[in-house]
Chain A
Amino acid sequence: MGRFRYPLKKAGWAALTVLFVIVLNFFLFRILPGDPARAGLRDPRLTQEAVEAIRVRFGLDKPVINCFENLNPLKLGSCAVNPLQTQFVIYIGNLLRGELGISYHSNRPVREILAERLWNTLLLVGVGQILSIIFGIALGVVAAWKLRTRIDYGALVGSLVAWSLPTFWLGIILLFIGSRHFDLPIGGKATPGLASSSNWEEWLDIGRHMILPTITFTIIFIGEYMLIMRSTMVDVLSEDFVLTAKAKGLNTYQILKDHALRNSMLPMVTIIALNLGFTVAGAIQIETVFSWPGLGQTIFEAVGRRDYPMLQGAFLVIALSVIFANLAADLFYSYLDPRVRAG
């Protein structure tokens, strides 16, 4: 049983976080001033009957929660209602069935739209992350090895500058240069109306659209990975086993590859997991600049259109992905380094 205690504890906390996010997600949209019932229905041309019909269609005619006289300073909900008929219970029920509501803007189920867009985001984020991890680690190792030389300082300053760049601005600048001087597409995922004769051509077109967003992503994240790798590597390289390896007559390449790199990889796993929140933030900005049809752009569009079910659904999907990815990283880390399970 002892083996499972750590994973179970971690999973328990993840579940609690999920619950918190769900409750937060529901009440934020009901309590804050721009509540959906008012904001979504502002068109003055709508007749009273039409407004009522829309409210019924989206379930906004029902009270938010059942009345808890003492717990309810906000005076939400009426007391004469069956608790099962409140928006909160209906929302939770729908959620359990995987329903996220209907988009105010497109009148399509939110789940359907998000499912399409999730894959686009994963494609963009996945490629960008892999590239930035590879380059970040390589740069970090070189900088640590060449500590206090020009190469090190160059890499250090470069990383700090990369870290300071606003993601969206770097995207704008690259888009400006790329679309003007390198004939790269200005946005989207595929050329509209392109009659591809084969799958290969279609993928090539998507690849061309991905070049600029991916470069932006890589530059933004390379800095942090490099800084972490560098400082971990410096620590590892000052351990005695490195001196032993050196005394044995191993060359620098062997020491770096077989002795130092392996031992420096552990902190990277944590950092990559902790970075997921920033990854999402980066995705929102990059997708907005490059009109990439992913979750980030969905959030941006939903804000502009006051499409609350869409915004609510997108936030939930993003938050849940980050929570689960964090859990996965925790468990993976404890598998790699059994010591953390004891602690």
Chain B
Amino acid sequence: MTVQTEVTGFRGIWGQLRRNKMGIVGLVMLLLAIGMAIFAPWLAPYDPKAPVKITIDDIYAPPSAEHLLGTDDAGKDVLSNFIFGSRVSLTVGFFASFIAIAIGGTIGIIAGFYGGRVENGLMRVTDIMLVIPDLPLAVVLVALTRPSLWNIIFVIGILGWTGTARLVRSQSLSVKERKFVLRAKAIGGGNLYIIRRHILPLVLPLMVANTVLVISLAILNESTLSFLGLSDPTTLSWGQMLNFAFTRGAMSAGAWWALVPPGFGIVWVVLGCTLLGHGLEQILNPRLETHHLAVGKQMVSRSSQEGA
């Protein structure tokens, strides 16, 4: 895997990302969701925490002018819950992936840079963790601890680092062999100094791209755990909304308005992350995008591609 130094600076990445349609669409989707989370109190028509007085007709009431997306099992406004739910889902996504990237990045850099026994040991641990299925283990861990948002963040974080560790390791392996690192070593630069000044800056962009993908996984995991009823019932994430709707009769009431929006929110954020992540990956790790059976102008032989 070779990396073009020209595109590894963050400014260079932005320049390329602007021309990457998928990446831009993903970025815009993600920014919209973040904006919704930040401005939730101004956007939401009702306060989800405020007590409401309801009659039987307010439960699973269909969309109306008063409640644009109808009401849920407690007679509360689905739209407001949906807008505030983005806060929980994004918080979990960001914090959990921060933990995962920190663990995976550290292990990957140490393994890649030091090599030898250290690398062997760390990668064996990674392999073992990679094989153990995440979700069942997460379910067990969360079920055995008190249900709270922080427990979920922590569990998702400590189970989600394996992919990052492998990616960062292979990247630091290739960076380590580059001339300027060897020179820095020859001059007498310490290991920590070399890691901080030479390895990290070249590994970081790839880690950022990876973070975006890890966020999407974390959000999916959070929604799944919440849907399975393992989250704190007082924090209303999108997964929790679906858990309430599914277990409290939205299906038999035909209340699609309680089922569709939370799922749509999850798909929106995860798809945004995925598009942005793939866009960044394409820039940092360019793949061949043509072949011999392609038609028209794209029909180029491999050698002329590489020469260009």
Give chain A's interface residues, CB within 8 Å of chain B. 13, 16-17, 20-21, 28-29, 32-35, 144-145, 147-148, 160-161, 163-170, 172-173, 175-176, 179-180, 186, 231, 234-235, 237-240, 242-243, 246, 252, 255-256, 276-277, 280-281, 284-285, 288-289, 299-300, 303-304, 311-312, 314-315, 318-319, 322-323, 326
Contact = CB atoms under 8 A, between A and B. Distances in A.
Given A32-B141, A147-B294, A303-B143, 13 more contacts: A28-B141, A32-B145, A166-B239, A169-B259, A238-B290, A277-B131, A277-B132, A281-B133, A288-B228, A299-B136, A303-B139, A311-B140, A311-B143
B144 interface: yes
Query: Which 5 residue pairs spanning A and B have beta carbons closest together?
Result: A237-B291, A281-B135, A169-B263, A32-B144, A238-B291
Interface string B267-308: 100110011001000000001111111100010011001000
A318 B134 CA distance: 11
Interface residues of B, number: 54
Contacts of A281: 133-136, 224
A169 B254 contact: no
Contacts of A144: 291
B289 A246 contact: no
Contacts of A35: 144
B153 interface: no
Contact of A33 (B128, B140, B145, B287): B145
Given A242-B291, A277-B131, A285 B224 contact: yes
A238 B220 contact: no
A231 B246 CA distance: 38
Contacts, number: 174
B289 A234 contact: yes
A160 B275 contact: yes
Given A161-B271, A165-B267, A284-B135, A17 B291 contact: no
19 contacts: A17-B127, A32-B145, A33-B146, A148-B289, A161-B271, A164-B266, A166-B266, A169-B223, A169-B263, A169-B266, A172-B242, A172-B263, A246-B293, A277-B131, A285-B228, A289-B246, A303-B230, A319-B132, A322-B133
A322 B294 CA distance: 39
Interface string B162-188: 000000000000000000000000000
Nearest to B26: A160
A147 B298 contact: yes
Interface of B: 124, 127-128, 131-137, 139-141, 143-146, 216, 220, 223-224, 227-230, 239, 242, 246, 251, 254, 256, 259-260, 262-263, 266-267, 270-271, 274-275, 278, 287-294, 298, 301-302, 305
Contact of B139 (A17, A235, A238, A284): A284
B303 to A, nearest CB: 9
A326 B131 CA distance: 8
B89 to A, nearest CB: 11
Contacts of B267: 161, 164-166, 169
A203 to B, nearest CB: 27
A33 B144 contact: yes
B204 to A, nearest CB: 25
Given A28-B141, A28-B144, A34-B144, A243 B136 contact: no
Given A160-B271, A238-B290, A280 B224 contact: no
A229 to B, nearest CB: 14
A243 B137 CA distance: 48
Contacts of B141: 28, 32
A165 B223 CA distance: 11
Contact of B132 (A17, A33, A300): A17
A48 B226 CA distance: 36
A156 to B, nearest CB: 8
A14 B172 CA distance: 27
Nearest to A247: B292
A21 B132 contact: yes
Contact of B140 (A28, A242, A285): A28
A204 to B, nearest CB: 25
Given A144-B291, A176-B251, A299-B136, A304 B229 contact: yes
B292 A280 contact: no
B291 A176 contact: no
B272 to A, nearest CB: 9
A166 B256 contact: no
Contacts of A21: 132
A255 B146 CA distance: 58
Given A164-B270, A164-B274, A16 B128 contact: yes
A148 B229 CA distance: 43
A276 B241 CA distance: 28
Contacts of A179: 251
B293 A255 contact: yes
A300 B247 CA distance: 13
Most chain B Cβ neighbours within 10 Å, of A239, A252, A284, A289: A284
A243 B292 contact: yes
Contacts of B259: 169, 172-173, 176
A229 B136 CA distance: 28
B213 to A, nearest CB: 11
Given A32-B144, A246-B292, A315 B137 contact: yes
